[in-house]
Amino acid sequence: MVEEQLLPRGITDKRVIEAMLSVPRHFFADKSMEAQAYSDFPLPIGEGQTISQPFIVAFMSQALALTGSEKVLEIGTGSGYQSAVLSHLVDRVFSVERISTIAQKTRRLLDSLGYSKVLIRVGDGTLGWADEAPFDAIIVTAGAPKIPSKYVEQLGEGGRLVIPVGPADTQELIRITKKDGRTREENLGSCRFVKLIGKNGWEEGGRIGELL
């Protein structure tokens, strides 16, 4: 997976590569999909959610420019695979998942694999995790119609936010860097994610929710 999918496509951060080598991806896939766990595409995990393809997990992790001491907010815990990768790269991971059954299953899996650095909260991910802010980095694993202002508010000085933004069918991966109270935006390329559902994202029926 690393040699064929990641290295040829520009994943050069040695720490990210080591993390991808260290996390057993097949544990995070459904039993019926284990044989395809290391393939170059996303996999369904139930409840209309997916585990992202290996490349996008590595690419987003690399885009955060992590050094090891960071406090990171993850929006969309899902299977826990991205959480596990991040736990090899940072000090603590605070992850928000809106579907309680997925959060409970993932908590049990992470505990069984010894990923104690990951804290999971069930709630509306579009609101962030204000009680634990500010964060050194925020990663959003679902597509938003616009960037929720809560994320920028909860990003610390020098922090990086990586988030897919755009229509439901395709998005652009955006990196926001916060410095001296100002933000700088970069477009990292096109991508496709499930919808970011919540007050400051998409509503369940697909309409855009209220943006604060």
For residue 134, which of 162, 117, 159, 98 has the smallest C-alpha distance? 159
So which residues are the catalytic ones?
52
Task: Give Rg (Cα) of the chain.
Answer: 16
Pairing of strands 155-165, 171-179: antiparallel
Contact between 27 and 109 (Cβ < 8 Å) = yes
How far apart CA 16 and CA 51 sit, in angstroms, is 18
Contact between 123 and 145 (Cβ < 8 Å) = no
Helix (H, G, I), strand (E, B) or coil at 86: helix
How far apart CA 26 and CA 36 sit, in angstroms, is 8
Amino acid (1-letter code) at residue 153: E
Find all residues with CB under 8 Å of 143, minimum gap 6, and list them: 164, 165, 166, 168, 171, 191, 192, 193, 194, 195, 196
How far apart CA 212 and CA 200 sit, in angstroms, is 7
